[in-house]
Amino acid sequence: MTLQIRPATPADVPVLVQLITALAEYEKLTHLLEITPEKLETQLFGPRPPAEAVLAEVGPPEARRVAGFALYFTNFSTFLCKPGLYLEDVFVLPEHRGQGIGKALLQHLAALAVERGCGRFEWSVLDWNEPAIRFYQAMGASVLPDWRICRVTGEALEQLAGRR
């Protein structure tokens, strides 16, 4: 298998939407999807893109097929006083799993974090996703037991902002 990991381009937006939809289906979260190609293109390639994406492709150069993606952004650690790389989503299509593509995506992003002088490379994992947890631990990641994600969205976000 020939594997290439490359930065996404605006031409990749339709396939990224398909991959994100497949991820939502896997996680049984399609009811939360608000993604459109237009929204995603603005967020990844607009004037101040808050996120970046890479695609994993397999096959010979003349017949490459997308096998997965990773979407990430820069965050910041006040304690380390350094930027960090936060992996929002990584997904490999079911027919391409077990071929080292997920590992290659994580290694690619870890190298990018080192190159950018990041102090951390972090991501979250759903507590029910035992195969992913075991995979991440095998890659050297610590699953932090004392930390919980806090999230404010929708009407609660509007209320917190004092707008409702």
User: Does residue 47 belong to any structural domain of this protein?
Assistant: yes
User: Does residue 49 belong to any structural domain of this protein?
Assistant: yes
User: Does residue 128 belong to any structural domain of this protein?
Assistant: no
pLDDT for 92 beyond 90: yes
User: Does residue 18 belong to any structural domain of this protein?
Assistant: yes
Q: What is the mean pLDDT of residues 115-131?
A: 93
CB 53 within 8 A of CB 87: no
Name the domain count of the chain.
1
Helix (H) or strand (E) holding 86: strand 82-92
Q: Distance between CA 48 and CA 154 in Å, rounded?
A: 23
Q: What is the pLDDT of residue 102?
A: 95
CB 116 within 8 A of CB 84: no
pLDDT for 116 beyond 90: yes
User: Does residue 53 belong to any structural domain of this protein?
Assistant: yes
3-class DSSP assignment, residue 70: strand
CATH number at residue 43: 3.40.630.30
Helix (H) or strand (E) holding 14: helix 13-26
Catalytic residues: 136
Domain interval for residue 41: 3-123
Quick: pLDDT tens for 27-83.
999 999 999 999 999 999 999 999 999 999 999 989 999 999 999 999 999 999 999
pLDDT for 19 beyond 80: yes
Quick: pLDDT tens for 131-140.
999 999 999 9
Q: What is the pTM of this model?
A: 0.91
Q: Distance between CA 110 and CA 44 in Å, rounded?
A: 20
User: Does residue 29 belong to any structural domain of this protein?
Assistant: yes
User: Does residue 136 belong to any structural domain of this protein?
Assistant: no
Q: Distance between CA 111 and CA 116 in Å, rounded?
A: 9
User: Does residue 143 belong to any structural domain of this protein?
Assistant: no
Cα–Cα distances (Å) from 16 to 24, 99, 100, 134, 138, in that order, read: 12, 20, 20, 26, 27
Cα–Cα distances (Å) from 153 to 7, 37, 105, 158, 161, in that order, read: 29, 22, 29, 8, 11
